[in-house]
A and B are shown apart, each in its own frame.
Chain A
Amino acid sequence: MSLPHLPALRRGKPYESLDQTEVCHHLTGQPMAVISQVNAGILRKDLGRIAEARAALKKFTVEELIAISAKAGEWFLNGDLPCGDRGHVQSAAQYVETLSSTSGLPEVMVRRNMVKIHYALTHIRTILNGLTRGLPLEVIDRGYGEQSGAAVSYYPTTNALGLIMPSNSPAVNSLWLPAIALKTPVIIKPGREEPWTPYRLIQAFIAAGAPPEAFGFYPTDHEGSGEVMKLCGRALIFGDANTVEQYRSQPKFSVHGPGFSKVLIGNDAIENWPDYIDLIASSISENGGRSCVNASAVVVPKYGAEIADALAKKLGPIEPLSPKDENARLSGFANPKMADFIDAAIEDGLQTPGAEDVTAKYRGGPRKVMFGGGVYLRPTIVHCDSFAHPLANKEYLCPYASVVETPQDQMLAQIGPSLVVTAITQDPEFTAQLLDSPLIERLNLGPVSTMKISWDQPHEGNMFEFLYKRRSIERA
């Protein structure tokens, strides 16, 4: 049978380009699909007519779109959906297998990501409630209304939400899902190794009754990505620390980079540190260590060496397993150069005195390994003598964390911006300081995994406030 062909979707309509690339199995190199690539001019042309896409969504109420989103969640999790325009149909199992084969993510992790996305789609009402702080949804339909006895009016900030998606983890797609219920068309530039999830989500939405015009799927080059960012009134960008820095100050962009998430243990809890090793280890290594909510530093007032050793003992022996193995905990690298770069960066950092790769003695071999034809990075715990060490506040696309000993009263001055902080403490004074800190986006108080996110509380920007602005209103 022929290879699936994923066309571009131009206001929902398939477009087969003459310029096509292959997405290949990361182990065998076998092509899994061909993808139509569009030139930047097509994006400019289509974005000139984006008002039509928004008009198609505006025909629905938010309530109706919430119901469609919920149905889309079922389609996404369980349905047989079109995979391209050559008659291929993709079951949920095929989606898991295919995505795993091109991204390197073990199937068990793909399934977990799928469940997260399903949860988000089937709980859009809860999410919107959290994002809008209980705004009656008809206010969005009508543009004005009342909330807590006060007149309110909101207007959309953009005709479309641009998305420059990464390839590292499918669950990042859950970030844009509320946009549909918020009547905002999406213009998606998929990641090179991960076109599958956005394409399947779009098909799930369409199968559930969403207007196809609301979806743009544009595999494109650097120039095309630039047009998405320039021409969409709002855009989500995923990238490294440099990318984040470049766009952070511009309000039209919501930039998602490294999370630098951390686990902190207070003076009051440190004597019980062995009780938290499992929690910390899973915060570091779940999802292959690929998420921005994975912990990348453990900050403790004492027992740094002991904690690093305990984590290393637990994580160090983890080896790559077949992507189909239910116990697989490491992700392969679809781009082996990325693994080379990370391995070299860690080795380079270790040349600076004051850090030890504690996992080395439990790994019994190198960090970068070949397995079944793929490249993997095994977990790495580095004990650093201070936050000044170059490896102390780094984040890599693998299970990696530093353990740094820092007096409690200096922790908040040293940790820097952190997407998630799990603070294991019951000390009221330290808790108050943590609550006051502007550096922490999401704060878990007590032994809660950094991986736990609450859908009704935005942890990385508020999509409603990104897509809508409040105005003052008076009606005679």
Chain B
Amino acid sequence: MQTLTPEQAQQQLDAHLREIVSWHFSPETGCPFWLEWAAKNFDPRAEIQSVADLRKFPHFEDEWLRDLQPEVWVPAAFKGQPFNIFETGGTTGMPKQRIGWNDYKVDYSEFSEKISDEHFPRGGAWLMMGPTGPRRLRLAIEHLAHVRGSSCYFIDLDPRWVKKLIANKQFDQARAYMDHVVDQAATILKHRKVSGLFTTPKLLEALAEKVDIYAAGIRGVFCGGTTMLPQYVRFIVEEVLENRIGFYPTYGNTLMGLAASLPLRPEDQYSITYYAPQPRAVLRVVDPKNTEATVDYDAWGRVELTTLTREFFMPRFLERDEAIRRRPRGPYAWDGVAEVRPFGAMEKKIVEGVY
């Protein structure tokens, strides 16, 4: 990965932003939704020259991804090409949907450069134990394995069902379902040679209680999905992975792609900072009461995501997460987000459960 200065990264991002705005708001290449929006509001090609100008856009509304048919998001340049439909977590009702063609491959090919061959040997099989179904992650993990010359086994976990069980206080059922998922993974590990694992932290913990995952051949774990506060990360690193299996926590979702973390240093005290795959996505930590304002470094705020690819333009989407804003750290020349947790987690109980 090429190391930039923050100024160079900013210039690169601004240039990328202008290109993407031009793409989505030009009749020859843009999609119906944004062309119609521009007709009713303003022409961003003239007004949006830098990331600071993004504040001229209102917050992207998640209802647009629920209520509108996916075709409105097809850029003219992709017209006629069948697309993938990916969904976000969702619990009840219509989930948010994002369409795409190659973005996930770009994101995960890049991510492949951030994981070591020691932990994910090229050619060694992967196991994904986590939400597959309509999620981008399913294809993305398989692509990642393929990029590394590997194949991947899959065990599905339906997070919508788990959330329902927990919300209905059916904890025994939730536990039984988790056991069902973990048992399947244990069976695969017993009968197949696997060296790389993608899963959620809770499932990883449950699997490690059943199987000696190092002895089973696992050398690297790529994790994502829920809150990982420092004490929990330390527990995973020291006691679940016993300091001998590589741990790669990530923050991501269908709308953004994948924000990777840097290897933990002693001074990090197990606080993980994630860096967005800039310039394709930009994360900003904003004051929840005044979302124009970015919070100071090392302060908590709500996560705002802007996605900037030729397949999808999504300005200023307020995630349901809060995080600490962190300074750039090489090789990343832009802000990071740390200790991500559900927005309002300190005030109310959030259903995260096993997923």
Contacts from A to B (Cβ < 8 Å)? 17-19, 37-39, 41-42, 44-45, 48
Q: Is the CB of A45 within 8 A of B230?
A: no
B209 and A42 form a contact (CB under 8 A): no
Q: Which chain B residues lie closer than 8 Å to A42 at the CB level?
A: 235, 239
CB of A345, distance to nearest CB on chain B (Å):
25
Closest CB of chain B to A18's CB: distance in Å?
Answer: 4
* Min distance, Cβ A398 to any Cβ of chain B, angstroms: 29
Residue pair A18, B239 in contact (C-beta under 8 Å): no
Known: A19-B230, A41-B239, A45-B239. 9 other contacts (CB 8 A): A17-B231, A18-B231, A18-B234, A19-B229, A19-B231, A38-B231, A39-B231, A41-B205, A48-B209
A44 with B209: CB separation less than 8 A: yes
A interface SS class: loop
Task: Answer yes or no: B232 CB below 8 A from chain A CBs.
Answer: yes
Q: Which residues of A contact B205 (CB under 8 A)?
A: 41, 44
22 A/B residue pairs, CB under 8 Å, sorted by A = A17-B231, A18-B230, A18-B231, A18-B269, A18-B270, A19-B229, A19-B230, A19-B231, A38-B231, A39-B231, A39-B232, A39-B235, A41-B205, A41-B232, A41-B235, A41-B239, A41-B240, A42-B235, A44-B205, A44-B209, A45-B239, A48-B209
**Shortest Cβ distance from B208 into chain A, in angstroms?**
9
Residues on A with C-beta less than 8 A from B240 are 41
Across the two chains, which residue of chain A brings its CB closest to B269? A18
Query: Which A residues lie within 8 Å of B230 (CB)?
Result: 18-19
A249, B305: Cα distance in complex, Å: 51
Greatest chain B CB density within 10 A among A37, A41, A42, A48 is at A41
B interface residue numbers (CB < 8 A to A): 205, 209, 229-232, 234-235, 239-240, 269-270
- Min CB distance, A228 to chain B, in Å? 16
Closest-CB distance, B352 to chain A (whole angstroms): 11
A48 to B269, CA, bound (A): 27
> Bound complex: CA of A42 vs CA of B235, how far in Å?
7
- 3 nearest A-B pairs in the assembled complex, by CB-CB distance: A19-B231, A18-B231, A18-B230
Task: Looking at the assembled complex, report how far the CB atom of B236 sits from the nearest CB atom of chain A, in whole angstroms.
Answer: 8
Q: Which residues of A contact B235 (CB under 8 A)?
A: 39, 41-42
B346: min CB distance to chain A, Å: 13
The minimal Cβ–Cβ distance linking B206 to chain A, given in whole angstroms, is 9
Contact residues in A for B270 (Cβ distance below 8 Å): 18
- Bound Cα distance from A333 to B235, whole angstroms: 35
Task: Please tell me if the beta carbons of B231 and A37 are within 8 angstroms of each other in the complex.
Answer: yes
Shortest beta-carbon distance, A49 to chain B, in Å? 12
CB distance from A259 to the nearest CB of B (A): 29
Residues of B within 8 A of A41 (CB): 205, 232, 235, 239-240
What's the nearest-Cβ distance from chain A to residue B116, in Å? 25
A22 to B353, CA, bound (A): 26
Complex Cα gap A39–B232 (Å): 7
How far, in angstroms, from A17 to B232 measured CA to CA in the complex? 10
Of all chain A residues, which has the CB nearest B230?
A18
CB distance from A70 to the nearest CB of B (A): 37
Q: In whole angstroms, what is the CA distance A39 to B270 when docked?
A: 15
What chain B residues lie within 8 Å of A39 (beta carbons)?
231-232, 235
CA distance A211 to B159 in the complex (A): 45
CB distance from B233 to the nearest CB of A (A): 9
Q: Which among B209, B230, B235 has the greatest number of chain A C-beta atoms within 10 A?
A: B235
How close is B354's CB to chain A, nearest CB, in angstroms?
Answer: 11
CB distance from B324 to the nearest CB of A (A): 14
Separation of A42 and B209 alpha carbons in the complex (Å): 11
User: Measured between alpha carbons, how far is A38 from B234 in the docked complex, in Å?
Assistant: 11
Q: Nearest chain A CB to B87's CB is how many angstroms away?
A: 29
- B-side contacts of A17, CB under 8 Å: 231
Give, as a whole number of angstroms, the nearest-CB distance from B55 to chain A. Answer: 36
The residues of B that contact A18 with a CB separation of less than 8 Å are 229-231, 234, 269-270
B234: which A residues are within 8 A, CB to CB?
18
Closest to A44 in B: B209
Q: Which residues of B contact A45 (CB under 8 A)?
A: 239
CB distance from A13 to the nearest CB of B (A): 13
